[in-house]
Every structure is written in C-alpha cells, then in structure tokens.
C-alpha cells in the first residue's frame, strides 16, 4: 500500500525564493504612499517570522513604531493592497524562480499519481500570480487543492490551512507530507498531524526546526544535490517520490517499534 498520497507545498520560500520580492514590494508601496519606511534585510529577517503580509506590516508598525506609525495603521488595508499590486508586477517580471528540485518533484508526483496541494499564509491572488508567472510547470493546473491565508480564520502557525487542505483532499494526515521553509509552517503542519520536510530559505537558514521529519537544503537535482541537515534523507542527495516513500515507511516502522499496545517500548 502506498504511504505517500499527497505532497502539500507552502508557497513563499518553498516553491520559489520570494521573500526578497515581498520585501522589495513593501518598500515600493511605502515609497508610493510617501510613508518614509524602509525595510532592510536584517529588519526583514525579524519581520519574516510573522505569517501574512498584512499581519507583517501591522507587526512592524506596532513593534517598531516608526515616525507616522499611527496614521499608517489607519491605512493598513491601502498599504497591503499597494504592496500586493507591486508584488504581482515583480513576479510577472520573473523576479523569482522555482527553487532547486521543485519542478522535477512536482512533475514526478503527477506522473506517479501523488496528489499535489498548496497550504500558504499568503493571499490566493499572490499564489495565482506566482503559479502563472511563466514557471516551469502548468501553474494552477498542477495542484489539486490550494488553500491560502485569506480563505481560513487563522494563519500559520495555526493549523487551519492544513486542516482545510486535508478536508478537501479527503486524506488522513499520515498519508501526506508537507514541504515548508520555516518554523511557522512546520508548527502549522505538525499541529495538523502532518510530517514535514523543511527546506530553509534565504531568511530561515540557520534556524532550528524541532520535530521536522527532515531538514534539507533544498529538494536537490541530479547535478545539484541537496545538503542533508537533519532527520530523514541522509541516505540520498535528490528528493524523489520513491525516496519519500522509503523514508516515511522507515518512520512508520520506528514509531511501531517505539509503541506496543499504546505503551512506549523505549523510555
């Protein structure tokens, strides 16, 4: 019986390295609206821990209290709308590309009958823009289910997007694998009971990912192998459907060994 029945990708930072595009879009919006704010890379590393673009801007205004923050808070929706407009324009201009191995693994999953989904905290419009921006697979057609942050009550690290993906797929968590790039996504998928492979992105490299099923530099390609960081995957250099099946079966076997009649065998 197949263990892996669905791959669930995060979008930003996982499908493509988009964090810098979001940062640039925010700075463009701030400039257009004459707010005088500038986000540099060190600042954005802190801000990137907050899921959701609108929430990230609000967090910045309330925590850092830059000059004019009170007036900016009253214009939060306007700022976010302008930022998304700028982001989609940059994406359409090919400002971000797929991460290593994504196109290959997506294509293999479709060939092997493994279903594909997206669970993300960004907006549905931003996901569509990314998928339709001349990427290397069939964009929206590649994914069976897409659940975005504006479609659920709570964003990551709450499990809402993952629970909704599971509901729409009609699959139990044990037959799915999440692919994320940061702590909030890992916590969200784990809270939904889904094993999670983490491929750290530009702003999450060097972070700790407790409880991750595997931590790899990326998904790897035959001439660009991944670096194993932690967990499963130390026996290979390219993430394939066969490899994921093997790692998940090994994980199931280990869990079975650790539990006998509901009691841990090893304390």
Does residue 126 have a cis peptide bond before it, meaning omega lies within 30 degrees of 0? no
25 and 140 fall within a common domain: no
The answer to whether residues 173 and 244 belong to one domain is yes
Going by the DSSP 8-state scheme, the letter that residue 239 receives in this structure is: -
59-70 pLDDT, tens digit per residue, is 999 999 999 999
In a domain, 1, yes or no: no
**Do residues 133 and 94 lie in contact, with contact meaning Cβ atoms separated by under 8 Å?**
yes
Q: How far apart are CA 147 and CA 210, in angstroms?
A: 25
pLDDT band with cut points at 50, 70 and 90 for residue 97: confident
CA distance 79 to 73: 9
CATH code of the domain in which 196 resides: 3.40.50.1000
- Domain match, 179 and 237 both: yes
pLDDT for position 260: 58
Residue 134, sorted as left (phi over 0), alpha (psi -120 to 50) or beta, turns out to be left
Residue 98, classed as helix, strand or coil, is: strand
Q: What is the pTM of this model?
A: 0.91
Q: Which of 33, 65, 92 is the last residue in one of the domains?
A: 92
So what's the pLDDT on residue 67? 95
Whether residue 151 is found in the same domain as residue 62 = no
Residue 177 pairs in a beta bridge with 7, 195
User: Same domain, yes or no, for 72 and 119?
Assistant: no
Asked whether residue 169 is domain-assigned, the answer is yes
Domain check: are 56 and 32 in the same one? yes
d(CA 109, CA 163): 21
What CATH code is carried by the domain that includes residue 28?
1.10.150.240
Residue 30 domain boundaries: 19-92
Q: Compute the mean pLDDT over every residue in the chain, rounded to the nearest whole number.
A: 93
Quick check: is 242 in a domain? Answer: yes
Rounded to whole angstroms, how far apart are CA atoms 64 and 230? Answer: 35
Last residue of a domain, one of 92, 117, 147: 92
Q: Using CA atoms, how far apart are residues 265 and 258, in angstroms rounded to an integer?
A: 5
- Claim to verify: residue 11 and residue 25 sit in the same structural domain: no
Among 42, 73, 92, residue at a domain's last position? 92
> 33 with 165, same domain?
no
User: Among all chains, which residue has been given the structure tokens 């929706």?
Assistant: 77
pLDDT of 96 reads: 81
pLDDT in tens, 230-251: 999 999 899 999 999 999 999 9
Counted domains in the chain = 2
- 196 pairs with which residues across the strands? 178
- The reply to whether 237 and 161 lie within a common domain is yes
List pLDDT tens digits, range 111-158: 999 999 999 999 999 998 888 875 555 677 889 999 999 999 999 999
Copy the structure tokens of residue 211: 């409880």
Mean pLDDT of 170-191: 98
Residue 210 counted as domain residue: yes
- b/e per residue, 190-216, with b = 16+ CB within 10 A? bebebbbbbbbbbbbeebebeebbbbb
**Residues 11 and 39 reside in one and the same domain:** no
Is residue 150 domain-shared with residue 230, that is, in the same domain?
yes
pLDDT at 35 over 60: yes
Q: Residue count of the chain, please give it.
A: 267
pLDDT at 265 over 50: no
> Residue 262 pLDDT > 60, yes or no?
no
Same domain, 37 and 13: no
């Amino acid at each position: 019986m197949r263990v892996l029945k669905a791959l669930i990708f995060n979008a930003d930072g996982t499908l493509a390295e988009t964090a810098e595009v979001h940062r640039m879009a925010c700075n463009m919006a701030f400039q257009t609206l004459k707010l005088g704010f500038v986000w540099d890379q060190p600042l954005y590393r802190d801000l990137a821990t907050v899921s959701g673009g609108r929430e990230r801007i609000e967090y910045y205004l309330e925590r850092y209290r830059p000059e004019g923050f009170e007036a900016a808070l009253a214009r939060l929706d306007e700022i976010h709308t302008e930022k998304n407009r700028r982001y989609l324009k940059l994406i359409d201009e090919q400002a971000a590309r797929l991460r290593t191995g994504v196109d290959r693994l997506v294509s293999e999953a479709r060939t092997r009958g493994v279903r594909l989904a997206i669970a993300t905290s960004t907006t549905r419009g931003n996901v569509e823009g990314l998928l339709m921006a001349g990427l290397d697979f069939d964009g929206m057609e590649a994914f069976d289910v897409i659940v975005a942050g504006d479609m659920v009550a709570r964003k990551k690290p709450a499990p809402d997007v993952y629970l909704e993906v599971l509901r729409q797929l009609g699959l139990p968590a044990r037959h799915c694998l999440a692919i994320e790039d940061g702590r909030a996504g890992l916590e969200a998928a784990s809270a939904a009971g889904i094993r999670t492979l983490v491929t750290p992105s530009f702003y999450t490299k060097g972070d700790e990912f407790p409880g991750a099923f595997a931590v790899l530099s990326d998904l790897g390609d035959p001439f660009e192998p991944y670096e194993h960081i932690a967990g499963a995957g130390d026996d290979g250099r390219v993430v394939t459907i066969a490899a994921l099946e093997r790692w998940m079966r090994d994980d199931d076997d280990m869990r079975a060994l650790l539990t006998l009649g509901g009691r841990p065998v090893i304390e």
